[in-house]
Amino acid sequence: MKQIKYIILGLLLISVSPACNKVLEVTPGVPLESNYFTSEAKVQGGIAGPYAKLVDIHGGYMSSGGPFFPVWLLPGDDITYQNASGSGAEFETFSGLNSSDGRIASVWQLYYQAITRCNFMLNMLSEPAIQAVFTTPGLKDNNVGEMLFLRSYCDLLLWDWFRKAPIQYDRITSMDSLYLPPSKGFDMLDFAIASLQKAIPLLPTAWPAGQGGRITKDGAYGLLVKCYVERACYNNKNAADYANAITAFQNISSSRQLVSQFGDNFDYRTENNTESLFELQATQLPNGANNPWLNGDAAGSSVTTGVYWNFWTNHWSNYTSGIAGPSEKLVKAFTPGDPRITETFRNTPDNLGGILSWIVPFNYFYGGNQIVKYVNGARGNCYDPNWQISSANNPRIIRLADVKLCAAEAYLATGNSTAALKQVNDIRTRARNSVPNGTPPSTVPANLSSVTMQNIMDERLVELAGEEGNRWTDLRRWHAAGYINLGNWAPADFGFTMNPSLFAFDVSKHLLFPIPISELNSNPQMAVSGNNPGY
């Protein structure tokens, strides 16, 4: 799928009033739902739709208040912001965070659009007429598995961030089902888990060459591990949830291995590797005319399908976003000599002799350090030639190192400290070996002789820093489980040292995002329920 631009379906619904006794014979300007899916290839175009919507979330999307990285990246303690009073800083300081925030509303909408597309395609795939167009054995079931996985991924994030987001079980086909009630308790997370369990037997172990970005059984097992560990934390460290996480982890294929170099997880030249369980397939248009002011639903040939990484750099496009960098807490969390340091942040990032002119040392903030995951040197040299905004370097959404550390939590919580220790030491061994060819391995980080929950939490900080919002999800679930108490954390504990007086975190309020005012205004059932506590 990496080499093929995502295809977005435009479906036109036409109705004629029954009071009119004349027939209007007009050929539709675009294909209709009723006559579009006439071949297996066209069905695959529909399957690409939800994937493409997730790419929109990670793109520049500059005309609509994007990019959206502050929503998942700034809360937590690993990443901080150049301008603590600038755009997006409310996601780091929590001051002024409210239901009217446009980025929250956009992310909410984009995830629900992806869910809607999944449900639409699931509905189409259940139709005998559409099933009849398939010629590749097993592909229809594979497609069902893909849609179930992507819906589960969106459901997990909506539950994690908002908790009482409505559950769209099926395609909405009538006004009666348009306004959905808020979910309760674990309902949405349970639904995500149930959908993953249905998806796994339908998904392939691998896709044909050229389609490596499509979800596989291993990717679904990886997400299932994360779902179970999250539910365990919010469910009084439930032993059955941890046991289910371990079972899912053990079902991941032995062909899935950590790549030898930590930095290969962030290089476009080593995408879709053995460690990557799920990554979005960022692309560039053949003519290089990516337009980050247009989302993937825009018509024409210049819509962007790339992703935005310039929030790590001094690129001019930061006028809509600002620059994110490593917190002082993150910098101090690494043991000196850990090879992951220079793959995570640097004082002197490589801009290929000025070719990537916007990647320059930050002499005036972050202690001169710049996050270099996805952008350092040759690994970052895959931007669109016109604007240098949209990158074709894939975001790694789920990688094996993340899942192994989740499994370490589950093993430790169920009394198997030996297995927990192995997962953590696997990560640390790879870190020591992540040195240039011909260079002796580092002596740090040394293998642990025993493991505690604090060791696992610390390892997740340095291994996954700045990746996919993992840290904020981790901190909140660990708080729920009683491993930490965010209510006692000072601004510096959150990695915020620029101006502590701006910091306004309230543990009774800010563990969840506010429900967007647009949802409350348009959905009567959500309006009756009200917003999340404190908003």
DSSP structure string for 272-325: S-TTEEEE------TT---BTTS-TTSSSS-B---EE-GGGS--GGGGGT--EE
Cα separation, 292 vs 290, whole angstroms:
6
Q: Are 466 and 373 in contact (CB under 8 A)?
A: yes
Give the CA distances from residue 136 to residues 124, 129, 206, 233, in Å, rounded to whole numbers and listed in that order.
Answer: 17, 16, 15, 42
Q: Are 485 and 479 in contact (CB under 8 A)?
A: yes
Burial of 321 (0-12, 13-18, 19+ CB in 10 A): buried
Q: Are 335 and 459 in contact (CB under 8 A)?
A: no
The Cβ-side half-sphere exposure at 86, using a 13 Å CA radius, reads: 15
User: What secondary structure letter does DSSP report for 383?
Assistant: B
Beta bridge mates, 278: 398
Sequential pLDDT tens for the chain (535 residues): 454 444 433 332 222 223 333 444 555 556 777 788 999 999 999 999 999 899 888 988 776 666 889 999 999 999 998 754 445 588 999 999 999 999 999 999 999 999 999 999 999 999 999 999 999 999 999 999 999 999 999 999 999 999 999 999 999 887 777 899 999 999 999 999 999 999 999 999 999 988 888 999 999 999 999 999 999 999 999 999 999 999 999 999 999 999 999 999 999 999 999 999 999 999 887 666 677 777 767 655 566 678 999 999 989 888 767 789 999 999 999 999 999 999 999 999 999 999 999 998 877 778 889 999 999 999 989 998 888 888 999 999 999 999 999 999 999 999 999 999 999 999 999 999 999 998 999 999 999 999 999 999 999 999 999 999 899 999 999 999 999 999 999 999 999 988 888 899 999 999 999 999 999 999 999 999 999 999 9
Helix (H, G, I), strand (E, B) or coil at 416: coil
Which among 150, 266, 282, 273 has a CA at the least distance from the CA of 203?
150
Q: What's the token pair of residue 317?
A: 């496009």
Q: What is the pLDDT of residue 25?
A: 54
Give the CA distances from residue 528 to residues 259, 341, 517, 521, in Å, rounded to whole numbers and listed in that order.
Answer: 50, 49, 13, 10
What angle separates helix 187-199 from helix 217-234, to the nearest 10 degrees? 160
Cα separation, 114 vs 33, whole angstroms:
18
Non-local (6+) Cβ contacts of 427 within 8 A are 258, 401, 404, 405, 459, 463
Helices vs. strands in the chain: H and E counts, helices first: 18, 8
- Asked whether the bond before 533 is cis by omega within 30 degrees of 0, the reply is no
Cα separation, 500 vs 497, whole angstroms:
6
Cα separation, 371 vs 367, whole angstroms:
12
Q: What's the token pair of residue 155?
A: 């459901």
Q: What is the pLDDT of residue 198?
A: 98
Burial of 453 (0-12, 13-18, 19+ CB in 10 A): middle
Cα separation, 237 vs 482, whole angstroms:
9
CA angle 160, 340, 423 (to 5 degrees): 60
Chain centroid to Cα 13, Å, comes to: 32
CA angle 474, 480, 486 (to 5 degrees): 75
